[in-house]
Structure 1
């Protein structure tokens, strides 16, 4: 592959640079439309990953969902999103980016309606998987359309705005979900997507010019192998809680996932147009950065999954109150990344990745120690803030490491790999947290829930330790 040298990371790498806006040309009218529409679509996709958090308790009660089924209402979306990201980007290059972007929005809206109409939890899980497929077509194409429409001299400014808008989905999702559940019913967290998409699609067709990329052959073997590997591993973690870790079913699922992962690596090494360039992992910073984001998001998403429930089932907070109580954590994910992004060129990625996840890991252990039915919310504010700061510092550092480790020609594939590992980390994190929770507690009482929650937070701390070890290799 040749020697790959490190290079300064630009805004294209997703890190907010220091930009002198007084000397940066303004966006033209059509460019503003492209930025507004792609950012709005990406915000909608980001919200749907986190808006469910404060609605989980209502969904569990209304649909009589088991712990395993509740978990799949989150992971079905995350998994299909993760495994289809790279394929959706290739489809956009082949058949037209605007066309696939609009198709993704339409699929997302239709699946949202199916979620709202779900008569049982199995229907909801299936609809969430389709929703994730639509989201996978929207997110990478939003960035591609933005990159094509915005010239280099103003791209940094546009990407900074895009990143800030999408980042707002982290604190806004649980708050919005809580407000909707408190004001109407959980079904409206999905119904609300339809009028937004109904506005976005015609505006996109009217205001965004069509574009295409290089016509590459779709890596269908890679797609099927990646889907099978990820599904086997996550399903094995989920089923282990019900049938036992040493059962034939669990061992068969986990073994199948591992075997398919190995086959996927071999196939991707031998194909000339791989879905994921495995050879990039020979670059230490690239491999370490992807490992770091996997563990970062496993810990962060796993903690968010249970923290929103703990506030309701453990501390008896109403859904809207629980959303507001998560704001100290979520607000940090908007404020901190821009500050860290402006300092990475001075200090490098390692201090922020390692230091951030150390702070987050300690915060998880702090929350575990505080967890008790008689605890007050005020005790959790400080560790929530510190956890949010730690996660928000580690994410741009990992992204910078991944995209800064490859030459410009490989940025697209590197960005795709980063997104895949982030989404898979979230799916594995939730599956692992549920496994730990189920082994230590349950939903029968506030005390039983708190016991399982505390154990899950300790597991989040262990995932954070994995991110620290990966960060040391940056």
Structure 2
């Protein structure tokens, strides 16, 4: 009984580390105006406070997850935690633009190492299906709700103290998490660097992902998707990705064994995650702008406005997601959740210039919260369903990578199209509030379309019920045979 209790406490430790990483992203967004005023950033320079983190984080997730399989998932988690805490200290002490941007890049490195292996540790700690579903539900709540909580925490810290404290707050949390992790996380040994120390592959995939994220957050967002710089960087990123796939297909000990993509559930779940996260950014980013720029909410009020979403999401993720997956299966649970997310975004697409919170915003947050709370634990379970003990870290890193790429794409595409629509309405003589609202509505409708596409992928690609379990069993049997040989 003590061992079982220790596993659940260890899960709480892992999720605390994840919460710290997720909170950091949205906390920083709320504090950007204060950082700009204090350090004298230009508008374009201020974007690098966010971009530096995103490029390092998104570029290293897959590599960090695989390193966990090769060396030690516990070791990679602890090392990433140390890097993140030290980088947070540097961010809080930063007195210049250059120091803050460099420290934010280091934060991204630590964040990637910490978060990439968490799901891999969870699936190895909880091999029994019902317990695993419950554990993944807890993890999914933390990973999904952290962003909304970050809006509230950022408003409180920035308004009551200074922006420096959004980084300093990570120090006690990170240190306590590290001490608890040393005591509670099970020690593990990887399969060895010789089984996958593919240096050319590591260089290719890291360069491809970093350049891809850079292309999305910089030239695409600022110059447009058809600009020469965007096409050039995007083309090089795609070329590096193709070279990586060719390398992995021929390498004796590949960094990323391509067999993991033979599972329809793993491949389909990651595609669904990228599309759904991209669509949801219409609400989590542009919904915040609508509340602040059209309805006049301050940062604290915005955080409180999204609190119902967090509460509903938590209630489903922590209490009901395991029962839903056990009763209806991961595929059906996911499909139901995607319907609710699409309905919530569609409700948001109706927002008026003089919107009322109880009528225009609250129903949408409740619908999306219920959809995320029900669908994301099922989605995580599907994404990890084909992972063997040897590949759990890789599968975990892949889940995080697709979420990050989806978020970056969603932010760039939806924000760009929204701004273009707003500019067109302004040029036509519409008032500023009406033009802004028109741009946000368009983004919300595109978000609905992306979630509808992800629903179609889920319905057509994913395998239900017993077929999911049989597929995972076949993968595990194959891994045992290969390991024996």
Q: Give the TM-score normalised by the residue count of structure 1.
A: 0.81
Check conservation: 2:278, 2:410, Cα contact below 8 A: yes
Structure 1 residue 413 corresponds to structure 2 residue 394: yes
Pick aligned residue for 1:246 from 220, 223, 226: 226
Post-superposition offset of 1:239: 1.2
1:431 aligns with 2:412: yes
How many residues are aligned here? 449
**1:357 aligned partner:** 338
In structure 2, the CA distance between the partners of 1:471 and 1:132, relative to structure 1 (3 Å rule), is same
Q: Residue in 1 aligned with 2:172?
A: 195
CA–CA separation in structure 2 for the residues paired with 1:278 and 1:69: 39
Give the alignment of 1:295-444 within 5 angstroms.
Answer: 295-338=275-318, 339-372=320-353, 374-378=354-358, 379-405=360-386, 410-441=391-422
Structure 1 residue 71: Cα displacement: 5.2
> Per-residue deviation at 1:429?
1.6
Give yes or no for contact 1:57–1:312 (8 Å, CA) kept in 2: no
Paired residue secondary structure (2:162) = coil
Aligned to 1:176: 153
Q: CA deviation at 1:445?
A: 5.7
**Does the aligned pair in 2 maintain the 1:102–1:204 contact within 8 Å?**
yes
State which of 97, 104, 107 in structure 1 corresponds to 2:83: 107
Provide the rounded CA distance (Å) in 2 between the counterparts of 1:141 and 1:401.
17
Structure 1: distance between partners of 2:14 and 2:253: 28
What is the deviation of 1:36? 4.7
Deviations 1:297-335 (A, max 9, x none): 222245312222332222221211111111122223222
Residue 386 of structure 1: CA displacement?
A: 0.9
The residue that corresponds to 2:449 in the other structure is 462
Deviations 1:257-286 (A, max 9, x none): 222222222112222333333333233222
Aligned partners of 2:324, 2:459: CA distance in 1, in Å?
18
Instruction: Tell me the CA shift for residue 61 of structure 1.
Output: 5.8
2:466 corresponds to which residue? none
**C-alpha distance in 1, partners of 2:185/2:389?**
25
Structure 1 residue 200, shift from structure 2 partner: 3.6
Unaligned runs of 5+ in 1: 1-24
Q: How far has the Cα of 1:63 moved from its partner?
A: 5.6
Deviation at 1:370, TM superposition (A): 0.7
Judged with a 3 Å threshold, the aligned counterparts in structure 2 of structure 1 residues 230 and 154 are, in CA distance, closer, same or farther, namely: closer
1:118-129 alignment to 2 at 5 Å? 118-119=94-95, 123-129=99-105
Conserved? CA contact 1:225–1:260, under 8 Å? yes
Q: Choose 244-253 or 113-122, whichever is displaced more.
A: 113-122
Change (3 A) 1:27 1:155: farther
2:112 counterpart residue number: 136
SS of equivalent to 2:256:
coil
Q: 2:204 aligns with which of 225, 237, 252?
A: 225
Distance 1:201 1:403, change over 3 A: closer
SS of the residue corresponding to residue 384 of structure 2 reads helix
| Farther-moved stretch of structure 1 (61-70 vs 71-80) | 61-70
Pair 297,186 (structure 1): closer, same or farther in 2 beyond 3 Å: same
CA distance in structure 2 between the aligned counterparts of 1:28 and 1:351, rounded to whole angstroms: 30
Tell me the equivalent position of 1:452.
Answer: 439
When the two chains are superposed, the root-mean-square deviation of aligned CA atoms in Å is 3.5
1:321-360 deviation digits (Å, cap 9, x = unpaired): 1111111222232222342332224433343333332332
Conserved 8 A contact 1:333-1:389: yes
- How far, CA to CA, are the matches of 1:332 and 1:359 in structure 2? 12
SS where residue 223 of structure 1 aligns? helix
CA distance in 2, matches of 1:449, 1:275: 46
Are positions 1:287 and 2:267 aligned together?
yes
